[in-house]
Amino acid sequence: MTAAAIDHDVLIAGAGLVGLALAPALAAAGLNVALADRAPVAAPEADPAGWDARVYAISPGSAEFLRSLGAWQGLAADRIAPVESMRVAGDAGGTIDFSAWDIGERALAWIVEERALRSALVPLVHAAGVTTIAPCAFSGLTFDGDAGRLALADGGAVTARLVVGADGIRSWVRRAAGVDAVPVPYGQTAVVANFACARAHHGRAHQWFRDDGGILAWLPLPGRRISIVWSAPEALAAELLALEPAALAARVAAAGGGVLGELECITPAAAFPLQFLRLPATVAHRLALVGDAAHGVHPLAGQGVNLGFGDAEALAAVLRERGPVADPGTPLLLERYARRRAEPVRAMQTVTDGLARLFGLTAPWIRSARNLGMAAVDRLPLAKRMLAQSALR
């Protein structure tokens, strides 16, 4: 393929939050970028009276990246809630308390609705001059020495020197490129919903490791509202999803020990199967993977989207700093990206997967040991600070 016949420097396949953030970051690095997705690349309609059931805990590091793009400034302040403290409780009395104040931060994380993030990112994609190819269906992906070629179901095709797969944990791009990996189910489903609460949460998040192996998290929303993520064994998840809103609210309140009083369900419950994904490599010939296409983690630490934003920031930085290497798909640059992301991703996967599996074990001595371990860490300020700092950035 001749250089003149190549349409773009970079083609991003997948317009989720990570793909939307990556596109303007790469355009700012002086690259000709295209973004393709099966759905239209459009901001969702505003709903001031309603709340999105899908929210994210945006770390300070991710917030800085979004601010560098101009997206964070576009978020309405009254739709964001800071997590100023957090209590993590084991299944047999062990607890750990984290405080943003103790580590010199404004917040441990910021709880933001998915649609608010999309609404802030989509205009940046268009303003950056990114070519959007959507809605479209992908039908084939091939590579030659100089470019990747994405064939579309309508008979068209797009070529680029670098193809980025940003299309989720069941990535079509990853499979089409021959990067073999099958996500491993945790046997849990994340049940998410939002609730109004009788008592103020004061910016405090809660997480309970339950004796059935599940994990329940309450995240503060603006006002007297919370969002919950209940990573429940599949049978329990089905039971929760079948409950009427009032019964679900009562069940969630009881599971949290009534710490915020009575709850009222304000969004329908939704469900997401939980899976672990570790790849042998996140780059290949003229291919890079980002976000859930590159790795899958348990949501107990709320770090999935933050890892994805970290991928986007790292890939954009590597290509921005490419110097005399004009071709963004050259192996030298892709290997730099892979090396830069290998350690933080593996560390987060090791911690989250290890904790999820540890609290799934039911032997009494293991249960006692893990709760004693939590209590011991809570008495070590330096250890807590190190744990918190690694997640913040």
Query: In sequence order, which residues have a C-beta less than 8 Å from that of residue 67 and are 6 or more positions away?
Result: 73
Give the pLDDT confidence score for residue 185 in this predicted structure.
93
Give the pLDDT confidence score for residue 384 in this predicted structure.
61
How buried is 108 (Cβ within 10 angstroms: 0-12 exposed, 13-18 middle, 19+ buried)?
buried
How far apart, in whole angstroms, are the C-alpha atoms of residue 146 and residue 285? 10
CA-angle at 328, arms to 326 and 329, nearest 5°: 125
Give the pLDDT confidence score for residue 369 in this predicted structure.
79
Give the pLDDT confidence score for residue 294 in this predicted structure.
97
Q: Domain ranges in the chain?
A: 3-392
> Could you tell me the two tokens for 117?
């993030």
Give the pLDDT confidence score for residue 352 in this predicted structure.
87
C-beta of residue 107 within 8 angstroms of C-beta of residue 82: yes
Q: Which fold has domain 3-392?
A: FAD/NAD(P)-binding domain (3.50.50)
Give the pLDDT confidence score for residue 360 in this predicted structure.
78
First CA to last CA distance, the chain: 41
pLDDT tens for the chain, 393 residues: list them: 555 578 999 999 999 999 999 999 999 999 999 999 999 999 998 888 899 999 999 999 999 999 999 999 999 999 999 999 999 998 777 888 899 998 888 999 999 999 999 999 999 999 999 999 999 999 999 999 999 999 999 999 999 999 999 999 999 999 999 997 889 999 999 999 999 999 999 999 999 999 888 999 999 999 999 999 999 999 999 999 999 999 999 999 999 999 999 999 999 999 999 999 999 999 999 999 999 999 999 998 788 999 999 999 999 999 999 999 999 999 999 999 999 999 999 999 998 888 887 777 777 777 787 777 766 766 766 666 666 666 666
How far apart, in whole angstroms, are the C-alpha atoms of residue 115 and residue 382? 37
How far apart, in whole angstroms, are the C-alpha atoms of residue 329 and residue 205? 42
Give the pLDDT confidence score for residue 277 in this predicted structure.
95
Orientation of helix 304-320 relative to helix 331-358, angle to 10°: 170
pTM of the model: 0.94
How far apart, in whole angstroms, are the C-alpha atoms of residue 379 and residue 375? 7
* DSSP structure class, residue 136: -
Paired sense of beta strands 270-278 and 184-197, if any = antiparallel
How buried is 68 (Cβ within 10 angstroms: 0-12 exposed, 13-18 middle, 19+ buried)?
middle
Q: What is the H or E stretch that residue 157 is in?
A: strand 157-165
